[in-house]
A and B are shown apart, each in its own frame.
Chain A
Amino acid sequence: MKNARIAILFIMSAFCSCQKVIKVNLNSAAPRYVVAGNVTDQPGPYTINITKTIDFSQDNTFPGVSGATVFITDSNNNITDTLTEGSAGNYLTHTLVGVPGHTYHLDIAVGGNIFVCSSTMPQPVLLDSVRTQKSSFGKNIDVVPYYKDPVATGNNYHLTLKVKDSVSTEIYIHNDDLINGNEVANTLFNNIDVKTGDSITVELQCTDHKVNQYYDNLQQTIQQNSATPANPQSNITGGALGYFSAHTVDRKTIVAQ
């Protein structure tokens, strides 16, 4: 159904539309904590990043929040790692090793708030290949990762795309609701001008369902199509924005053809 929206927006733009920057008076809001953190099946350390919201009119500098107490517990073996702050707002693990099938608990105490979350790392699905092809639209080059969805249901995917040094801001998520057990070829539409010879890195992450929903919400928030825009539903309880995800990683780098 998202395609319907993309197509409609595209056709709208074919009308005589025009855009301009306008001044909108936006209120200032009490700052809220934002948490973004991952545990992966790659070697650590893993990072939990804590920041705060700022007013719309302020510059895009988001100072890290220092002085938080952060633990991650592997609930399958009951090992707790106490994170230490590196650069401001970035908290790093020491001994923790991400293992597929394990559930990780995150505990944060900061500024009188307690934020709690748990996330289970699914079994990995690997990329078979990444290819480039001429886009069906315009003159772009599309990047297409190929992988096979396993027979079991309930797989959730999050993909990232890096072309040379720029990371695509598009959110690529997928699940097996419609295609369980099939070969998947997911075109990663993007607004980066990919040229022959560019180095392209695609990362396939297998996430749990709540994290997948978070990205789905985040995509809706970023696209700004909804009549009732809202903050993505965080999987963290206690009132923080953001997410905590235990996920697998498989990465492939190719040269654009």
Chain B
Amino acid sequence: MLLLFALPAIAQKHTLSGTVKDKSTGETLIGAVVQTDDKTAGTATNEYGFYSLSLPAGEHTVKINYVGYTEQPQKVTLDKDVTLNVSLVAEGKQLNEVVVSSKAKNENVTSSQMGMNTLNVKELNALPVLFGEKDVMKIVQLLPGVQSAGDGNSGFFVRGGGADQNLILLDEAVVYNPSHLLGFFSVFNSDAIKNLTLYKGNEPAQYGGRLSSVTDIKMNDGNDQSYHVNGGIGLISSRLNIEGPIVKDQGSFLVSARRTYADVFLGLSPDTTIKKTKLYFYDLNAKLNYKLSDNDHIYLSGYYGKDVLGLGSLFGLNWGNATATLRYNHIFNPKLFSNTSLIYSDYTYKININTFGIDASILSVIKDWNFKEELSYYANPDNKWSFGLNSVYHTITPGQFGGNISVPNQPETHSWENAVYVNDHWKASSKLNFDLGVRLSTFSVFGGDNKFYNLDKNGNITDTMQYGAGQIVETFATPEPRASASYQLNESSSLKAAYARNAQYLHLLSNSTTSNPTDKWVATNNIIKPEIADQFSAGYFRNFKDNTYECSIEGYYKAMQNELDYKDNAQVLSNNPIEPQLLFGQGRAYGVELSAKKNEGRFTGWVSYTLSRTELQINGINSSNWYPAHQDRTNNLSVVAMYKLSKKWTVSADFVYYTGDAVTFPSGKYTLDHQVVFYYTERNAYREPSYNRLDLGATLKLKEHKHYSSELAFSLYNAYGRENPYTITFQQDPNDPAKTQAVQTSLFRWVPSISYNFKF
């Protein structure tokens, strides 16, 4: 590898490098394109706004481009390495501006990356929302190959993977539970977020640890030019965001907070039970950044959020994430960029019980300390290398008991996840691009108070073992090759293909129909093996009318090993050892994703359709035959449309249709102890009714003042009041005890909302 640094320059070349920013806010722009005016050489800014481009010595005109901003040509004379920092001016950007794509106009065609979507958070403004709360994760669910975990739920499934197979990063920190309020809101406050990138299993080698996808979310840095306050007042929540310079052009801060107050309304209820119910969440994002010198930049960002749920003094459940990221960017030379991060992630829930003669609490925590180092080496215009290492120490506290219960604590488990990787972004010719990389990941599980088991064929415990604290019990290593290629057929169309292997060492156990804050993370051990996925994909990308329309078709096949499912009657939240309650096997997922998108003009939006299948084969379930995974949905259609009616009004709509989940319904019934009990035969052999929903939205821009602008956002969620299944249960007919019936529970019909957003 070292040889690469020593490659001699063939012709006399110099490097142009620098940072691209928004002129009015000072926010760095991710993915801005820097290109010579003859388009023979070009690059894009990285996630810190940095670019580096090596060009022959001489005079050049480079153009700097970012969608929604005025293109800026710059003359440079390259007789030595030159630093060129550029500030772009937004094109009359307003509060309700709709920008669908943030990257270069034909990036989707030219880049070798596939199975990827980028969202600019401004896209959210015009779209309809549930309860008046903008949510990036709800928009992600409208992308091809991505499916909602349920009505109103911010959880999602990517290409057949489970909800725990998505790596969700906020400024590089893992967010273990990305949802608030039982899943109806995500933890991401859109005021604080700059950019979201979703990789659907074909992520570059710098990412790892989950099978299906990576959602990489970057927080805003804060305006380093002037102070600003913006916020929103909605029916159930309010937001406030404050940002400004610490030292102009040198450093800035951002603080963004949000609080729901649905529980205030609960207090008005005449029902004493509802009155005593507590139900709210709040969260806080904060970020500081400071430019120490032209080559050194330091960032500190953090998130803290908490949900509080309680029933009088009988029962309480609090949960929340905390993350912190300390990041140091250093430019060694115009070709070598370094990012060093120290990251902390924590997800905690605490249950308080004061009933059944018990006054006690249960505390559960997953905590990570994470060190990352990445070097980007812009070797020459055709090769950009990334090298890195990543080391994470996980501590899982499954259950720590307090109060008057006589139970030993469930012992902590400690584990250590490491990875090294290298990736080359290689422009082999003007038509052929490659991303070639490999990640070597390892996972070591430590001994301590926690016990390890040997199981017999039937899953009964035969031996119980314990190892010394700090002693490595077992280490797993997985080489994860990643490769993608694109061949450009002409200016506006390309063919792409990719292969990637991903390994996952932490697994979420959740044997329930709804997502729960108490779902349990477990680490790989001698029985629970690393999950491994191999994904092959290929696609055709075509743009029309000067990149106004982007169309693509992608197909994928994913083979998965060591997938887990539950034995009959498994109770993952019990104190009993979990290993005997699990079964392991293989999975496969395949599908075709069609997408058409209009990026510019008064009318924008997209249509995405996915035809797919996801199946599992696990010995001990359904006679060991292949069976559909719960999230197997054959058809999935999303339509998103936004129309700028006038200077004041923007209207929008989205429509979603998908096949019902594969579920287990009874195939018979019997009587026992004076009641009717349902009889089950096969797992996931039935289907819920299909899901469909139309949402409508409108935004009205109010009179603009010199330093103050505001808007009203109206939404109608589930506009035609479709009763979508949330759960289906079976019961004795209350009117005719001789009969049994199926009852569908639906949650949200015609949910209107209004919110007032302001900025000054």
**A residues adjacent to B (C-beta < 8 A):** 1, 3-5, 7-8, 10-12, 14-24, 26-29, 31-32, 34, 36, 51-56, 59-62, 136-138, 167, 169, 177-187, 216-218, 220-222, 224-233, 241-242
Give the residues from 687 to 743 in chain B that come closer than 8 angstroms, CB to CB, to chain A. Answer: 689, 723, 726-730, 732, 737-743
Give the residues from 563 to 615 in chain B that come closer than 8 angstroms, CB to CB, to chain A. Answer: 565-566, 568-571, 573-575
CB B270 to nearest CB in A, in angstroms, measures 11
Contact, CB under 8 Å: B738 / A17: no
Q: Which residues of chain A are within 8 angstroms of B476 by Cβ–Cβ distance?
A: none
Contact, CB under 8 Å: B513 / A21: no
Q: Which residues of chain B are within 8 angstroms of A185 by Cβ–Cβ distance?
A: 356-357
CA distance A235 to B727 in the complex (A): 30
**Is B469 an interface position by the 8 A CB rule?**
no
Q: Which residues of chain A are within 8 angstroms of B674 by Cβ–Cβ distance?
A: 167, 169
Contact, CB under 8 Å: B737 / A60: yes
Selected contact of A22 from candidates B406, B630, B683, B744, CB within 8 Å: B744
Most interface-central of B266, B575, B666 (chain A CB within 10 A): B666
CA distance A132 to B668 in the complex (A): 38
Contact, CB under 8 Å: B673 / A36: yes
30 A-B residue pairings within 8 Å (CB atoms): A3-B314, A3-B315, A7-B309, A10-B311, A11-B182, A12-B182, A15-B747, A16-B749, A20-B744, A21-B743, A24-B665, A24-B686, A24-B728, A27-B681, A29-B668, A36-B673, A53-B668, A56-B730, A59-B739, A60-B669, A60-B737, A62-B670, A169-B675, A178-B358, A186-B356, A224-B730, A228-B568, A228-B664, A231-B679, A233-B569
Q: Which of B20-28, B272-280, B339-347 contacts A (4 or more CB under 8 A)?
A: B272-280
5 more A-B contacts (CB under 8 A) besides A11-B279, A29-B681, A60-B676?
Answer: A4-B518, A15-B748, A26-B686, A27-B667, A227-B512
Give the nearest-CB partner of A180 in chain B.
Answer: B406
Contact, CB under 8 Å: A226 / B513: yes
Give the nearest-CB partner of B401 in chain A.
Answer: A178
Selected contact of A242 from candidates B513, B666, B672, B740, CB within 8 Å: B672
**Is B511 an interface position by the 8 A CB rule?**
yes
CB A109 to nearest CB in B, in angstroms, measures 20
Known pairs A4-B351, A230-B568; A225 contacts B266 (CB<8 A): no
Selected contact of A227 from candidates B315, B511, B751, CB within 8 Å: B511
Contact, CB under 8 Å: B569 / A232: yes
**Is B317 an interface position by the 8 A CB rule?**
yes
**Is B514 an interface position by the 8 A CB rule?**
yes
Interface residue count on the B side (C-beta < 8 Å): 86
Give the nearest-CB partner of B314 in chain A.
Answer: A136
Q: Which residues of chain A are within 8 angstroms of B268 by Cβ–Cβ distance?
A: none
CA distance A52 to B743 in the complex (A): 25
Contact, CB under 8 Å: A24 / B742: yes
Contact, CB under 8 Å: B569 / A217: yes
Contact, CB under 8 Å: B679 / A18: no
Known pairs A14-B274, A138-B271, A241-B670; A179 contacts B738 (CB<8 A): no
Selected contact of A187 from candidates B311, B355, B360, CB within 8 Å: B355
CA distance A1 to B679 in the complex (A): 26
Give the nearest-CB partner of A135 in chain B.
Answer: B273
CA distance A18 to B721 in the complex (A): 11
Give the nearest-CB partner of B727 in chain A.
Answer: A224
Q: Which residues of chain B are within 8 angstroms of A227 by Cβ–Cβ distance?
A: 510-513, 566, 630
Q: Which residues of chain B are within 8 angstroms of A224 by Cβ–Cβ distance?
A: 678, 727, 729-730
Selected contact of B670 from candidates A53, A136, A186, CB within 8 Å: A53
Contact, CB under 8 Å: A34 / B672: yes
CB A87 to nearest CB in B, in angstroms, measures 14
Q: Which residues of chain A are within 8 angstroms of B271 by Cβ–Cβ distance?
A: 138
CA distance A12 to B184 in the complex (A): 11
CB A217 to nearest CB in B, in angstroms, measures 4
Contact, CB under 8 Å: A220 / B569: yes
Contact, CB under 8 Å: A14 / B741: no
Contact, CB under 8 Å: B407 / A229: no
CB A245 to nearest CB in B, in angstroms, measures 10
Give the nearest-CB partner of B316 in chain A.
Answer: A7
Q: Which residues of chain B are within 8 angstroms of A181 by Cβ–Cβ distance?
A: 406
Contact, CB under 8 Å: B317 / A4: yes
Contact, CB under 8 Å: A179 / B743: no
CB B754 to nearest CB in A, in angstroms, measures 17
**Is B74 an interface position by the 8 A CB rule?**
no
Contact, CB under 8 Å: A233 / B356: no
Give the nearest-CB partner of B689 in chain A.
Answer: A22
Give the residues from 75 to 93 in chain B that come closer than 8 angstroms, CB to CB, to chain A. Answer: none
